[in-house]
Amino acid sequence: MNYLVISPFYPENFQPFTIELAKQEGVTVLGIGQEPYDQLPEELRNALTEYFRVENLENLDEVKRAAAFLIYKHGPIDRVESHNEHWLETDAALREQFNIFGAKPSQLKKTKFKSEMKKYFVKAGVPVVPGQVVKVDKDIDKAVKKIGFPMIAKPDNGVGAAATFKLLNQQDLAAFREYWNGQTVYFFEKLVESSELCTYDGLIDSKGNVVFETTFNYVYAPLELLEAKKDNAYYILKEMDPKLQEYGRSIIKAFGMKERFFHIEFFRNGDDYIALEYNNRPAGGFTVDVYNYAHSIDLYQDYANVVTGKEVADRPYEPQYCLAVTRRDATNYAHSEEEFLAKYAANVKMVRRMPRAFAELQGDTIYILTTDNRDVLNDMIAFVGKTV
């Protein structure tokens, strides 16, 4: 099997995907990236049979030429993947160009556009709120009539909370109209009056079966992070609500993806849930590591097993709560890093500086901690994030 990794160097925490694949018998791992070969760590270089450096990974024609060269030299490519939102469309274009297994551009439509996601949520029988695509100015009036205030406006094809607006009244709507360039297609939805945002995350095998599933709660929703520069904080739950599990599995079946990670966001609405967004990849940042620490597993190895048709490893350990929390260099905290690392020394699993691309939204340093006790979890959230 020839496996092509797009951007094997960045983000650095995804390098284990390449390294674990290279350990699989019969797998040749190839890479295309824009970093100089000498910049790659030795373990990553050793995992790559060949690395083709391009001047600009954004240049699809250049990437296609690189892939064509690797195919000429090594034979057909069996898989291509980045696991990165930014390169999902590049991955899909290469699969289509070279007839490679996996999601093609036409299949990405349902995972890239919020308006399309909603159709599949409805197909899965999962609650949603009313929505309206806004392409031209008159569509805004249709949205107001159909949905009514309060609403949320976000790019139909967008990630996270960027360029998102709360529309509580006509004044907010006027401000949006002034901002909007009329070129970006927006999607208006009824604003959900809930601050509880949770997820259904996991890994699907080549037959479409869920082989790993978990859930986490956000301490602050992404829009709140963006608006108030809060510290990013979320935590894996020890147990999953059966209703959330049922909804999540129905959505996976409706979307029909295979051999992929997924990250689905929901609002918790009393005893029920409202589907918000489907992401055709693992959650961003260091969340794969958070999954691993919470469940005492190795998803980098599990993914390599899935790709090569093997069973994933047994799950002998009970899950723990696992907290991922960031701090910002510019924030004045009540407790120093030394203080809280000493206080929770038995709980700390990882401390890392955040890549620049994530730091502005999420914070500068991330801390990952585990515990079996919900009260300790709550104490950690409060202690680490307390400001002066």
Q: Which pLDDT score, from 0 to 100, does residue 55 have?
A: 97
CB-CB contact of 226 with 161 (8 Å): yes
Put the strands of the sheet holding 165-167 in their side by side order.
131-134, 186-190, 151-155, 165-167
170 and 252 inside one domain: no
Answer whether residue 346 is part of any domain. yes
The domain tally of the chain equals 3
Count CB neighbours of 294 within 10 A: 24
Average pLDDT on 107-122 reads: 95
| Residue 78, both tokens | 């069996």
Task: Give 152's strand partners.
Answer: 166, 189
Q: Which pLDDT score, from 0 to 100, does residue 100 have?
A: 98
**Domain containing 294: what range?**
197-385
Cα–Cα distances (Å) from 185 to 90, 113, 153, 199, in that order, read 21, 10, 10, 26
Domain end, chosen from 150, 169, 190, is at 190
**pLDDT value at 361 more than 80:** no
Question: Distance between CA atoms of 324 and 347, rounded to whole angstroms?
Answer: 12
Q: Output 227 or 205, whichever has higher pLDDT.
A: 205
pLDDT digit string (tens) for 153-212? 999 997 766 789 999 999 999 999 999 989 999 999 999 988 899 999 999 999 999 999
**Where in 26-112 does DSSP place strands (E)?**
28-33, 50-53, 79-81
**pLDDT value at 43 more than 70:** yes
Domain harbouring 60, CATH code: 3.40.50.20
Answer whether residue 268 is part of any domain. yes
Average pLDDT on 269-294 reads: 95
155 and 299 inside one domain: no
Domain end, chosen from 139, 157, 190, is at 190
Tally of CA atoms within 13 A in the half-sphere of 282 that contains its CB: 24
Asked which of 151-160, 251-260, 379-388 is least confident by mean pLDDT, the reply is 151-160
**pLDDT value at 379 more than 70:** yes
325 and 202 inside one domain: yes
Q: Output 357 or 15, whichever has higher pLDDT.
A: 15
Q: Which pLDDT score, from 0 to 100, does residue 162 have?
A: 72
138 and 217 inside one domain: no
Q: Which pLDDT score, from 0 to 100, does residue 160 have?
A: 65
Question: Distance between CA atoms of 253 and 159, rounded to whole angstroms?
Answer: 23
**pLDDT value at 358 more than 80:** no
CA proximity to 219, closest of 387, 385, 351: 385
76 and 153 inside one domain: no
Q: Which pLDDT score, from 0 to 100, does residue 349 have?
A: 98
Q: Which pLDDT score, from 0 to 100, does residue 226 have?
A: 66
351 and 380 inside one domain: yes
What rounded mean pLDDT belongs to the chain? 94
Average pLDDT on 14-36 reads: 97
**pLDDT value at 313 more than 90:** no
Domain end, chosen from 85, 102, 119, is at 102
Answer whether residue 285 is part of any domain. yes
* Structural element, H or E, at residue 215: none
Average pLDDT on 204-224 reads: 90
Answer whether residue 140 is part of any domain. yes
318 and 265 inside one domain: yes
215 and 163 inside one domain: no
Answer whether residue 357 is part of any domain. yes
Answer whether residue 216 is part of any domain. yes
374 and 333 inside one domain: yes
- pTM: predicted TM-score of the whole model, two decimal places: 0.94
Answer whether residue 345 is part of any domain. yes
pLDDT digit string (tens) for 50-84? 999 999 999 999 999 999 999 999 999 999 999 99
Domain harbouring 285, CATH code: 3.30.470.20
155 and 238 inside one domain: no
220 and 156 inside one domain: no
Question: Distance between CA atoms of 28 and 278, rounded to whole angstroms?
Answer: 31
Average pLDDT on 82-90 reads: 95
Q: Which pLDDT score, from 0 to 100, does residue 363 have?
A: 86
**pLDDT value at 122 more than 90:** yes
168 and 303 inside one domain: no
Domain harbouring 147, CATH code: 3.30.1490.20
Task: Give 32's strand partners.
Answer: 6, 52
